[in-house]
């Protein structure tokens, strides 16, 4: 096909080298195929067993729901009833639930990849489905179950090609009103109205009145805790270096991840901030946690780390404890 | 000076008039690049998903590391070119680069959730790319007659881009088939990458015959061992090309900004955002060979300027009130023209000006200067965008590019001597 030029190349290609190449190609293709088949086998979902009690959002105190890492579906941890875990509902990549509502963020493979936020009722049946761009990251439901928020990572919509940006949405179930991307909310930074194209919000958490909320805003490489107001649709920064806030059930404290090191291996420590005194303390978890913590009660935090859900006292005492393995995205049972 | 082009073992037959063929080495290098690009684009396409969903990390911290790597790669590129020139070890140095990138996939697989190791694996991939690019481009120039270089680079870049288009498709198909087994993507990418290294080892002449050409040519000149990294700067036409490249690079805004402007204008769903680069790549793929042939016929200087003219036109269109879909299509097409008329053509323009023994380091220097100038442009444009908004920033960029084009027209050597001689010969035949 290339006349002389090609002829001399093949001329230099001894028969032995050609066979070695063919053999290598066969081995590489075989290896790649075998690995892929094994991986497909491993990730194949177990056949569903119909019957058994349907999973609901109600349960005994002390228990919680989570995302089962094996099936990707919703699991229930019930400290009083050991045994095989109950698993149900749709496959999710992030999950949260409160009151009568659950929120499931789901990514569907394909070209292009599609993601959905799925609102579920107390029996984990689908109520509403919203198509989303990006990769699911944080999900949160207010205590009443009426206010929902989620954060997606969007790649490529920033000018530095490999940088990520976030898109945070808020859905009010009472009115059905959806804020697709909250980055247009009027923001007051250090007491002044702030305008910049690079603001990114993530990790919303709602107060009990379903109006006040807290979130992280990042701009110019710094992160801040913002307090927002749904009715007035405005936000103001409270302090710096707060990511993924999570409001305690009594609305007095915020658990958050604080950046404590530039070492990419361990950038964060879980902290708790008292909103009245604005004093913060670290909790006993010394590893770097990259999650939006959940309060199982007014004294305890739950969070995902390396495929398990852990709990630790919120006041800085005690030690972290592994509650459920093979689980992420903890949410308290009502 | 052009010893490398005489007596090559794989030289295409003398021109008989109509269609000439691209040398076997160029096709072999094109195949290696195609396979390697499939391997690397597979990983690039799934990496964000893997970090966020597979590992549960917040990847905002990776953006920072990226800028750091870009600086490091520039240096590594120069070292790669220099190492290749020493004793004509182009194939071996390129091979090390390809192998390093392939092994970085295993690094990703073994890193698990350890962000430090993930960053190291990504850095390994970049380093490999930095090391191999200049030796590979030097091999292309050394194995093609100078009058056919434009087309040779066109063919190589078209094959390279084909791989880049196939990679994400392969990766998403794998994720779909395995229900999100990211490790399977890394393993397959590793196997494909190793295949690329093997193809290079077996198909590309180096060692005995190939290197003899390069060494023979290098041997008659002062050994690059004694030369510094900046030795090619002694040639005046080369310096002028370098100056023009830096000048144009420093006002070329970067396609990421163009995509962002298109997305804002059309209010495009973010889901479709990844398809904008694919559109430009498809244009590049289709136009790379014709642009290279044109460069062989009319000289490489003009297509290089026309290519930057195309991007100037794209800026103007982005500022114009034309119908959105038309603007989208034409701007993506113009980006394709830009790459087709500038990327390989610049190498074809520069290569013949360099003695064979300094080709890799000379090409590396041009590529590095271009990359750094573009980095500067992106930073500056980003700042202008933040301060004055996108429209003003774009007007400034267009004005800067117009001025730079005027300067580059003056700077670029009129007709590199290498093209004068063969092209007159061709016209007379």
Q: What is the pLDDT of residues B353-390, one digit of tens each?
A: 888 888 999 999 999 998 888 888 888 887 888 788 88
Which residues are CB-neighbours of A175 under 8 A, at least 6 positions away? none
pLDDT recorded at residue B26? 92
DSSP label at residue B54: I
A162 → closest Cβ in B66, B169, B263: B66
pLDDT at B126 > cutoff 80: yes
Question: Nearest C-alpha of chain B: how many angstroms from A245?
Answer: 15
pLDDT at A120 > cutoff 70: yes
In degrees rounded to 5, what are phi and psi of residue A127? -105, -40
Q: What is the pLDDT of residues A215-224, one digit of tens each?
A: 999 888 788 9
DSSP label at residue A183: G
Domains of chain A: 52-332 (2.120.10.30)
Q: How confident is the model at residue B288 (pLDDT cuts 50, 70, 90)?
A: very high
pLDDT recorded at residue B271? 64
Closest CA to A158 of B380, B164, B60, B332: B60
Residue A13's alpha-carbon distances to A53, B202, B206, B208, in angstroms, are 67, 7, 12, 12
How many angstroms separate the CA atoms of A68 and A87, rounded?
A: 7
Q: What residue ranges do the domains of chain B occupy?
A: 22-224, 232-418
Check: CB of residue A141 under 8 Å from CB of residue A99: yes
First to last CA, chain A: 72
Position with higher pLDDT, A326 vs A154: A326
Q: What is the pLDDT of residues A162-190, one digit of tens each?
A: 456 788 999 999 999 999 889 889 999 99
Say whether the peptide bond before residue A112 is cis (omega within 30 degrees of 0). yes
pLDDT at B65 > cutoff 80: no
What mean pLDDT, rounded, does chain B reach? 81
In angstroms, how far is CA B293 from the centroid of its own chain?
A: 18
How many angstroms separate the CA atoms of B62 and A306, rounded?
A: 19
pLDDT recorded at residue A4? 41
Query: Which residue reads 């990707």 in tokens?
Result: A72
In angstroms, how far is CA A99 from the centroid of its own chain?
A: 20
Residues of chain B neighbouring A164 (CB-CB closer than 8 A) = 48, 59-60, 62-63
Q: Half-sphere exposure of residue B117, counting CA atoms within 13 Å on the CB side?
A: 11
pLDDT at B298 > cutoff 80: yes
Judged by a CB distance cut-off of 8 A, whether residue B53 touches chain A is yes
Q: What is the pLDDT of residues A18-49, one digit of tens each?
A: 888 889 989 999 999 999 998 888 776 655 54
Closest CA to B96 of B25, B196, B165, B197: B197
Residues of chain B with pLDDT > 70, as a percent, come to 80
In angstroms, how far is CA B105 from the centroid of its own chain?
A: 21
Which ranges in B389-416 belong to alpha helices (H)?
390-411
Q: How confident is the model at residue B36 (pLDDT cuts 50, 70, 90)?
A: very high
Q: Domain spanning B232-418 has what CATH number?
A: 1.20.1250.20
Among A23, A39, A104, pick the best mutation site for testing chain B contact (most B Cβ within 10 A).
Answer: A39
Judged by a CB distance cut-off of 8 A, whether residue B113 touches chain A is yes
What mean pLDDT, rounded, does chain A reach? 85
Full DSSP string of B238-301? HHHHHHHHHHHHTT---HHHHHHHHHHHHT--GGGTTHHHHHHHHHHHHHHHHHHHHHHHH-SH
Give this prediction's pTM: 0.76
pLDDT recorded at residue B64? 47
Ranges A53-62, A140-149, A188-197: which has the least confidence? A53-62
Residues of chain B neighbouring A156 (CB-CB closer than 8 A) = 256, 259, 270, 273-274
Question: Nearest C-alpha of chain A: how many angstroms from B86?
Answer: 24
Cβ within 8 Å, pair B48-A155 = yes
Would B22-224 and B232-418 be classified into the same CATH topology?
yes
B22-224, which class in CATH?
A: mainly alpha
SS3 call for B167: helix
């Amino acid at each position: 096909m290339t006349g002389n030029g090609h002829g001399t190349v093949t001329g230099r290609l001894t028969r032995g080298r050609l066979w070695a190449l063919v053999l290598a190609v066969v081995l590489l293709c075989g290896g790649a195929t075998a690995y892929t088949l094994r991986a497909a086998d491993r990730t194949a979902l177990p056949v569903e067993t119909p019957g058994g009690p349907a999973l609901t959002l109600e349960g005994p105190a002390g228990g919680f729901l989570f995302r089962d890492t094996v099936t990707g579906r919703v699991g229930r941890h019930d400290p009083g009833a050991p045994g095989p875990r109950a698993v149900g509902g749709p496959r999710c990549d992030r999950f949260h639930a409160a009151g009568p509502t659950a929120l499931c963020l789901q990514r569907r493979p394909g070209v292009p990849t599609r993601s959905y936020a799925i609102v579920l009722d107390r029996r984990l049946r689908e109520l509403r489905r919203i198509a989303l761009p990006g990769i699911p990251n944080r999900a949160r439901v207010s205590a009443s179950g009426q206010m929902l928020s989620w954060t997606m990572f969007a790649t490529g919509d920033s000018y530095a090609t490999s940088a990520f940006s976030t898109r945070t949405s808020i859905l009010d179930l009472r009115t059905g009103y959806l804020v697709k991307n909250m980055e247009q909310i009027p923001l007051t930074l250090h007491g002044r109205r702030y305008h910049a194209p690079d603001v990114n919000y993530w990790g919303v958490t709602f107060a009990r009145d379903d109006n006040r909320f807290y979130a992280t805003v990042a701009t110019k490489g710094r992160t801040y805790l913002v307090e927002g107001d749904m009715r007035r649709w405005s936000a103001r920064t409270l302090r710096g270096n707060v990511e993924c806030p999570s409001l305690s059930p009594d609305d007095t404290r915020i658990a958050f991840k604080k950046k404590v090191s530039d070492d990419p291996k361990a950038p964060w420590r879980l902290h708790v901030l008292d909103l009245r005194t604005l004093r913060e303390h670290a909790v006993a978890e010394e590893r770097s946690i990259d999650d939006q913590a959940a309060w199982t009660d007014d004294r305890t935090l739950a969070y995902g780390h390396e495929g398990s859900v852990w709990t630790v006292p919120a006041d800085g005492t005690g030690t972290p404890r592994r509650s459920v393995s093979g689980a992420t995205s903890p949410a308290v049972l009502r | 000076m052009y010893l490398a082009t005489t007596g090559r073992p794989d030289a295409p037959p003398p021109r008989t008039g109509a269609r000439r063929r691209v040398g076997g080495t160029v096709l072999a290098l094109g195949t290696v690049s195609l396979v390697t690009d499939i391997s690397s684009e597979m990983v690039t396409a799934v990496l964000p998903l893997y970090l966020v969903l597979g590992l549960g990390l917040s990847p905002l911290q990776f953006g920072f590391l990226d800028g750091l790597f870009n600086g490091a790669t520039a240096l590594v590129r120069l070292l790669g070119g220099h190492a290749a020139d020493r004793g004509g070890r182009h194939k071996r140095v390129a091979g090390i680069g390809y192998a390093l990138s392939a092994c970085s996939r295993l690094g990703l697989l073994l890193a698990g959730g350890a962000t430090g190791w993930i960053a190291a694996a990504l850095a390994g991939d970049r380093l490999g790319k930095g090391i191999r690019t200049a030796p590979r481009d030097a091999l292309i120039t050394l194995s093609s007659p100078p009058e056919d270089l434009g087309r040779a680079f066109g063919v190589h870049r078209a094959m390279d881009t084909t791989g880049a288009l196939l990679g994400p498709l392969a990766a998403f198909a794998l994720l779909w088939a395995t229900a999100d087994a990211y490790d399977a993507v890394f393993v397959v990418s590793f196997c494909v990458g190793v295949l690329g290294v093997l193809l290079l080892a077996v198909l590309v002449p180096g060692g005995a015959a190939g290197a003899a050409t390069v060494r023979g040519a290098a041997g008659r000149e002062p050994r690059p061992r004694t030369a510094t990294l900046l030795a090619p700067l002694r040639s005046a036409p080369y310096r002028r090309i370098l100056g023009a490249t830096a000048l144009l690079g420093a006002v070329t805004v970067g396609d990421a900004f163009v995509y962002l402007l298109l997305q804002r204008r059309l209010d495009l769903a973010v889901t479709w955002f990844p398809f904008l680069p694919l559109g430009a790549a498809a244009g590049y793929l289709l136009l790379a060979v014709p642009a290279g042939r044109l460069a062989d016929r009319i000289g490489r200087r003009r297509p290089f300027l026309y290519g930057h003219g195309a991007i100037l036109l794209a800026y103007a269109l982005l500022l114009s009130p034309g119908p959105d879909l038309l603007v989208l299509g034409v701007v993506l097409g113009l980006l394709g023209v830009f790459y087709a008329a500038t990327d390989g053509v610049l190498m074809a323009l520069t290569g013949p000006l360099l003695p064979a023994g300094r080709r890799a380091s000379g090409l590396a220097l041009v590529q590095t200067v271009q990359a750094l100038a573009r980095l500067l442009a992106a930073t500056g444009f980003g700042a202008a965008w933040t301060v004055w908004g996108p429209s003003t920033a774009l007007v400034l960029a267009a004005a800067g590019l117009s001025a730079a084009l005027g300067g580059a027209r003056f700077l670029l050597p009129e007709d590199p001597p290498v093209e004068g001689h063969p092209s007159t010969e061709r016209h007379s035949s």
